């Protein structure tokens, strides 16, 4: 069992930056692939970024967002730069026990989810 808690969400102006953090419980945290997803108002949840054997990003955040992890601290961070109003969403952290790089963008492959943190980007 892994418990995930996100933090770092805030209101920020377009062009600004935020760093989201997800802290996980459990001694096996390092064995999980970790992902960030988001859900904008009125939209389906979508993949943002993930880190397993490698990192994977959705096209809309490439070159703006960076995912990283610190297994000693059981954390995975999402550094978000050059934020746009369309990045406004609730951001969720997720953990996958078994994975392949090609499956990291699929939410159904994740076993544990946090409750989310709100990111609002004003224009």
> Is the Cβ–Cβ distance between 123 and 11 less than 8 Å?
no
User: What gap in Å lies between CA 76 and CA 47, rounded to an integer?
Assistant: 15
pLDDT at 22: 98
User: What gap in Å lies between CA 62 and CA 95, rounded to an integer?
Assistant: 21
Closest CA to 29 of 80, 94, 92, 91: 94
pLDDT at 100: 85
46-97 pLDDT, tens digit each? 999 999 989 999 999 999 999 999 999 999 999 999 999 999 999 999 999 9
The overall average pLDDT reported for the chain is 95
Give the dihedral of Cα atoms 101, 104, 106, 110; nearest 10 deg. 130
Closest CA to 90 of 41, 51, 57: 41
The mean per-residue pLDDT over the stretch 22-51 comes to 94
User: What gap in Å lies between CA 61 and CA 108, rounded to an integer?
Assistant: 21
């Amino acid at each position: 069992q892994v418990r995930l808690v996100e933090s770092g969400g805030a209101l920020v102006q377009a062009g600004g930056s935020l760093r989201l953090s997800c802290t996980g419980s459990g001694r096996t945290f390092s064995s999980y692939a970790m992902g960030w997803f988001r859900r904008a108002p009125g939209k389906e949840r979508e993949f943002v970024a993930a880190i397993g054997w490698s990192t994977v990003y959705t096209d809309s955040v490439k070159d703006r967002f960076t995912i990283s992890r610190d297994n000693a601290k059981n954390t995975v961070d999402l550094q978000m730069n050059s934020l746009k109003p369309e990045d406004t969403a609730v951001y969720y952290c997720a953990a996958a026990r078994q994975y392949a790089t090609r499956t990291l963008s699929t939410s159904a492959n994740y076993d544990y989810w946090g409750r989310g943190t709100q990111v609002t980007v004003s224009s």
